């Protein structure tokens, strides 16, 4: 504990230990760490890990959910790369009603916050799934706008600001819960898309979704992934994600819109960089596959950094990047 922290505590009566808690769209997160959609199933895959508690994870984003059940893509669906992971699961899930009626009642909402992840092939499907989650105990709803629009030749909603805004507006019309829009990096101008989503009613943004990639088996000369291409996550995409968070923050800060920064975050230093770039919360995904206790280490590391720099709250770190000139 340094002299700055001691002085602040004496003057304000606040505790000397830095706070990792934050308010995200009016929801209290115990820490800035958010477990990303698809990485912990519908929550039970991580909450049973020894040592898990609401002191370590601010929120869990549930697996992507569509209106009707989906079997997903053919194998192989996951492939480890030298600096990350390719996945093309294909949104395998039991459908919205099964999630609401069978899965949500099994979750302990006193442990942490739970966020639904909504996917769809049409705007109407997005709206209907969102409407059904609105009448559920879920804390917030994340919209995965990277899904292909079947009525527009399969182009992803999230690659075009106008399409993204239409999805957000349709979801906004049917729910009062906080809406978080997950932005795709596979587009020309992510800041323009962020602006469109905010104007359409998004309360927060997730930045970024996976980067599209592929892998080839040189011996068979065939794609490794059954779907040919998949989403690349992990350390390989961190520099891309960091830049996108910085770019989106320039728009989001004008509207006081929080960002969940994500993409290749594996340690405390990574998490700090995203906070400094403009993220309010930190999305943890691929790193969970090889270190289920990474969140405990990051929380400890972030708290130590805040204390060294005389900061009382993790919120004081967001958007503090010092640009040249």
List the catalytic residues.
147
Kindly state the DSSP code that residue 306 receives in the 8-state scheme: H
DSSP collapsed to 3 states, 108-173: CCCCCEEEEEECCCCHHHHHHHHHHHHCCCCCEEEEECCCECHHHCCCEHHHCHHHHHHHHHHHHC
Query: Rounded distance, CA 46 to CA 48, Å?
Result: 5
Count of beta carbons in the 10 Å neighbourhood of residue 186: 16
* Nearest Cα residue to 142 out of 54, 205, 212, 209: 205
Q: By C-alpha distance, which of 130, 129, 165 is closest to 145?
A: 165
Q: Report the alpha-carbon distance of residue 257 to residue 245 in Å, rounded.
A: 12
- Length of the chain equals 325
Task: Supply φ then ψ for residue 283, to 5 degrees.
Answer: -90, 130
CA distance 24 to 58: 10
Measured between alpha carbons, how far is 230 from 90 in angstroms, rounded to an integer?
A: 9
Q: Which of 29, 83, 4, 70 is nearest to 260 (CA)?
A: 29
DSSP code of residue 76: P
Distance CA 125, CA 17 (A): 46
Task: Decide: helix, strand or coil at residue 15.
Answer: coil
């Amino acid at each position: 504990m340094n002299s700055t922290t001691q002085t602040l505590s004496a003057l304000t009566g606040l505790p000397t230990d830095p706070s990792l808690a934050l308010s995200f769209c009016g929801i209290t997160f115990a820490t800035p760490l958010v477990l990303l959609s698809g990485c912990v199933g519908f929550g039970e895959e991580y909450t049973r890990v020894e040592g898990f508690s609401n002191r370590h994870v601010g929120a869990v984003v549930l697996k992507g959910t569509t209106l009707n059940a989906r079997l997903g893509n053919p194998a192989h669906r996951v492939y480890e790369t030298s600096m990350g992971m390719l996945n093309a699961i294909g949104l395998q899930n039991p459908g919205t009603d099964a999630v609401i009626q069978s899965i949500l009642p099994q979750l302990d909402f006193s442990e942490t916050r739970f966020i639904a992840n909504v996917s769809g092939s049409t705007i109407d499907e997005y709206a209907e799934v969102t409407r059904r989650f609105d009448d559920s105990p879920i804390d917030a709803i994340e919209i995965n706008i990277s899904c292909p629009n079947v009525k527009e030749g399969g182009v992803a909603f999230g690659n075009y600001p106008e399409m993204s805004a239409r999805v957000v507006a349709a979801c906004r019309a049917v729910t009062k819960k906080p809406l978080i829009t997950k932005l795709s990096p596979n587009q020309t101008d992510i800041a323009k898309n962020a602006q469109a989503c905010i104007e359409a009613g998004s309360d927060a943004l997730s930045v970024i979704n996976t980067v599209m990639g592929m892998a080839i088996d040189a011996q068979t000369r065939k794609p490794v992934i059954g779907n040919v291409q998949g989403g690349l996550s992990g350390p390989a995409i961190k520099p891309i994600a960091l830049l996108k968070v910085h770019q989106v923050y320039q728009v989001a800060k004008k509207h006081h819109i929080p960002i969940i920064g994500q993409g290749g975050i594996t340690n405390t230093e990574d998490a700090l960089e995203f906070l400094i770039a403009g993220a309010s919360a930190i999305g943890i995904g691929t790193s969970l596959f090889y270190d289920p206790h990474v969140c405990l280490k990051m929380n400890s590391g972030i708290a130590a950094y805040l204390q060294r720099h005389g900061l009382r709250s993790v919120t004081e770190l967001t958007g503090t990047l010092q640009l040249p000139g």
